[in-house]
Every structure is written in structure tokens, then in C-alpha cells.
């Protein structure tokens, strides 16, 4: 089935960020200021970093945090120099892994991990890649820094080579695993400088070891409906203003977003995708030029789509 939307002639770079919807300022608690704000402000593109944390306690069926992950994956698929590694809740992964990459053209969905066991393999490979890329940068003495045209100095052809890896992890349905969280935190802390990033979704931030380290260094923090309000203060690093009622501010399809600790909080209206649009976006990324090589000899990367857990996930219908 051919995609209904033609591929863009000028696909963006991962360094331009991920456009996941529209963004406006958080409404003021003063009604007069709020009216002025509503009259003057116009929604702007919600361009977020591929390195961050999403927290939402709404049920999975209406979870805007999960919807944001879909929007972020779609945005990565539309870039020319990045691939996606999907990990976590099977219901999130299944929409993107509808076709078998072993027999069909590969897409930007380069790897999936529907179980903690396969996630550990994926993160181990990511750690090996980060070490190799950092060593290569030290040897060549070339820092991966943006230049005026938005690309990297060490890649004048305008592509990141090797391509960037965005690990999108939906951990809302998994029990905390110390070993997995340790690896995920290591990738989060050390991978950003070599274009290996993590965008993680969880259902809470207090009394949970999963986001503790990532929350400190995330380049983007997003929150849906949380209870109690202390969750917002802990995530955003500021005393939460109780005069701004989260259930009223955070409606269906919206999240609160913060780019830096203690910074201003905005409202993001998340781009919505149905199952058909998700499939079309994945198929359109078949023209994706970004291909990865195994991280090291003996790596399980070449066998990533024939792991028993992956084969079962791809072949057994949901709910079986």
C-alpha cells in the first residue's frame, strides 16, 4: 500500500528538533492578563528536543503522553538523518511495527523492544555505539557542534554519519527494573553528544526511580494530568501554582512543557495521528537513507528482527 502523503522534497534534520504540534504560553492566573494573552498570542510550532521525559497519569487509551510519543516518532521518521528505536508498552509499538522489516523495505523504525529482555539488548548495543562514537570523536578531534547551516562541522554533506538514534521508551506499563533503568540513564547521560538520545514516557515522577536521573538533565519536560499537584513541582523544579488548575489547563490532547529547570511552562497541543497516518508515515520513511552498521563484531544488531520475542510480537495478534 503506497503512502497517501508524498514524502517532502526537503526533509528536515534531527538537529532542527521534533515538531509535535503547536505551543502557547501557560494561561495567566489573572483574568485580565489572560484575556490580553488570548487576544495577542498566536500558536507557534511545538518543536521539542529528542531528549526528554513525558509524564501522564491518564488511562492509556486517552493518554496524551502516549500520543506525544507517536507524534515524536512520526517527526523522526520525517527527518533525513535519524532512526527510531522503540521500546516498551506493546500497544504503542504495534502501530509502528505493522510490517516485518525482514521481508519488506526497511523504514526509519530500525529496532523494537516489546519486552524488558529485548530492551536490555537494545540498550547494551546503544552503550557500545556511544563508546565507539565518543572514541572516534576523540581520535579525530572533531566536536559535534551545530554550524550556521544547522548541520555538523564533521559532516559537510549535510547528514549525520552515522545517523542519529532516537530511543523512544514507553515505560508506563512496565515495572521498574534497576538494571534497565541504570542502562537507560547511562545512555541518557552520555549519548546526547554523539546523537544518541532518549525520549521516555512514565506515569509518575515521585516515589519512582525511573525518571529520577533523567529528570535532572532532560532537555524537555512534558506533563499531562498528574495527582497530586506536587508532581508538577517536582518535575518542573518550581513551586507549582495551585491557582492554575491542571485539569482545566491540561485538556484532552494537551501537555505542559518546560525546556529548562525552573523555566517558563507552556501548553502544547499534540499533533494527533490515527492508525492509517501512522502506517503511512512509517511506509514513507522507506526512502530513508540513514542505515546503521553493527556496533561491534558479534553484535546482536543484525539479528534484532529475528529474536524470538520480536518474532512472536510481529506474528501473534494482539491479545493472544
Closest by alpha carbon to 194, among 150, 161, 147, 218? Answer: 161
Dihedral (CA of 208, 213, 216, 220) sign: negative
Tell me the per-residue pLDDT of 216-274, one tens digit each, with 9 for 90 and over. 778 888 888 776 667 777 788 776 654 455 556 667 788 888 888 777 888 898 988 88
* Alpha-carbon span 30 to 33, nearest angstrom: 5
| Within-domain flag for 232 | yes
Residue 145: predicted pLDDT: 47
DSSP three-state, residue 267: strand
- Alpha carbon of residue 121 to chain centroid: 19
Residue 276: predicted pLDDT: 85
Residue 201: predicted pLDDT: 87
| Within-domain flag for 1 | no
Residue 61: predicted pLDDT: 45
pLDDT band of residue 60 (cuts 50, 70, 90) is very low
Looking only at the bridges linking them, the beta strands covering 254-258 and 265-270 are: antiparallel
Higher pLDDT, 56 or 116: 116
Dihedral (CA of 83, 89, 92, 98) sign: positive
Higher pLDDT, 19 or 32: 19
With 90 as the cut, is the pLDDT of residue 99 above it? no
Residue 197: predicted pLDDT: 93
| Partners of 317 in the β-ladder | none
As given in the structure block, the three cell numbers for residue 60 are 492509556
* Alpha-carbon span 252 to 269, nearest angstrom: 9
Q: What backbone torsions phi and psi does residue 45 show, to the nearest 5 degrees? A: -60, 135
| Within-domain flag for 4 | no
Looking only at the bridges linking them, the beta strands covering 18-25 and 82-88 are: unpaired
Tell me the per-residue pLDDT of 113-154, one tens digit each, with 9 for 90 and over. 999 999 999 999 999 999 988 888 777 655 444 443 333 444
DSSP three-state, residue 277: helix
| Within-domain flag for 7 | no
Q: How many CA atoms lie within 13 A of 153 on its CB side?
A: 9
Closest by alpha carbon to 229, among 200, 215, 208, 250? Answer: 250
Higher pLDDT, 177 or 87: 87
Which of these ranges, 4-13, 51-60, 67-76, has the smallest mean pLDDT? 4-13
With 50 as the cut, is the pLDDT of residue 10 above it? yes
| Within-domain flag for 320 | no
Instruction: Bin 275: left if φ > 0, else alpha if -120 < ψ < 50, else beta.
Output: alpha
* Alpha-carbon span 96 to 261, nearest angstrom: 32
Residue 155: predicted pLDDT: 44
> Domains in the chain: how many in total?
1
Specify the CATH number for the domain of residue 51: 3.40.50.300
Domain that holds residue 146: 14-313
Closest by alpha carbon to 268, among 253, 278, 280, 283? Answer: 253
Higher pLDDT, 257 or 206: 257
With 70 as the cut, is the pLDDT of residue 31 above it? no
Evaluate if pTM is beyond 0.75: yes
Contact 80, 307 (CB under 8 A): no
Q: Look-up: residue for cell 544547522?
A: 150
| Within-domain flag for 3 | no
| Within-domain flag for 2 | no
Closest by alpha carbon to 3, among 81, 91, 98? Answer: 98
* Alpha-carbon span 81 to 99, nearest angstrom: 22
pLDDT band of residue 87 (cuts 50, 70, 90) is very high
Instruction: Please give the span between the terminal C-alpha atoms of the chain, in angstroms, as a whole number.
Output: 26
Closest by alpha carbon to 14, among 99, 96, 81, 60? Answer: 81
Tell me the per-residue pLDDT of 149-182, one tens digit each, with 9 for 90 and over. 333 444 444 444 678 999 999 888 888 788 998 8
As given in the structure block, the three cell numbers for residue 132 are 565507539
| Within-domain flag for 5 | no
CA distances for 100 relative to 6, 113, 245, angstroms? 22, 14, 45
Residue 187: predicted pLDDT: 93
Contact 165, 197 (CB under 8 A): yes
Residue 215: predicted pLDDT: 72
Q: What is the mean pLDDT of residues 25-35?
A: 56
* Alpha-carbon span 181 to 200, nearest angstrom: 11
Amino acid at each position: 500500500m503506497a503512502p497517501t502523503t508524498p514524502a517532502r522534497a526537503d526533509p528536515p534534520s534531527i538537529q532542527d528538533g521534533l515538531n509535535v504540534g503547536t505551543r502557547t504560553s501557560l494561561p495567566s492566573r489573572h483574568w485580565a492578563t489572560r484575556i490580553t494573552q488570548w487576544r495577542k498570542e498566536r500558536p507557534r510550532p511545538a518543536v521539542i528536543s529528542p531528549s526528554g521525559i513525558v509524564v501522564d497519569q491518564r488511562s492509556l487509551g486517552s493518554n496524551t503522553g502516549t500520543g506525544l510519543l507517536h507524534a515524536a516518532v512520526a517527526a523522526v521518521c520525517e527527518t533525513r538523518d535519524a532512526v527510531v528505536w522503540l521500546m516498551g508498552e506493546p500497544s504503542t509499538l504495534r502501530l509502528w511495527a505493522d510490517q516485518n522489516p525482514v521481508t519488506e523495505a526497511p523504514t526509519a523504525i530500525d529496532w523494537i523492544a516489546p519486552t524488558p529482555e529485548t530492551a536490555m539488548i537494545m540498550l547494551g548495543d546503544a552503550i557500545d555505539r556511544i563508546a565507539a562514537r565518543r572514541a572516534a570523536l576523540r581520535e579525530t578531534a572533531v566536536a559535534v557542534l551545530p554550524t550556521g547551516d544547522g548541520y555538523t562541522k564533521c559532516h559537510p554533506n549535510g547528514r549525520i554519519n552515522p545517523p542519529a538514534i532516537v530511543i523512544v521508551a514507553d515505560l508506563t506499563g512496565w515495572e521498574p527494573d534497576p538494571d534497565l533503568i541504570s542502562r537507560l540513564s547511562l545512555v541518557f547521560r552520555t549519548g546526547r553528544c554523539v546523537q544518541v538520545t532518549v525520549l521516555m514516557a512514565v506515569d509518575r515522577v515521585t516515589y519512582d526511580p525511573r525518571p529520577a536521573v533523567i529528570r535532572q538533565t532532560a532537555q524537555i519536560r512534558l506533563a499531562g494530568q498528574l495527582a497530586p499537584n506536587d508532581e508538577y513541582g517536582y518535575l518542573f523544579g518550581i513551586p507549582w501554582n495551585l491557582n492554575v488548575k491542571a485539569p482545566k489547563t491540561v485538556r484532552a490532547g494537551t501537555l505542559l512543557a518546560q525546556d529548562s529547570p525552573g523555566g517558563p511552562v507552556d501548553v502544547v497541543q499534540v499533533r494527533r495521528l490515527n492508525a492509517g497516518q501512522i502506517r503511512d508515515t512509517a511506509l514513507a520513511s522507506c526512502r530513508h537513507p540513514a542505515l546503521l552498521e553493527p556496533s561491534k563484531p558479534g553484535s546482536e544488531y543484525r539479528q534484532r528482527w529475528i529474536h524470538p520475542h520480536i518474532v512472536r510480537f510481529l506474528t501473534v495478534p494482539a491479545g493472544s
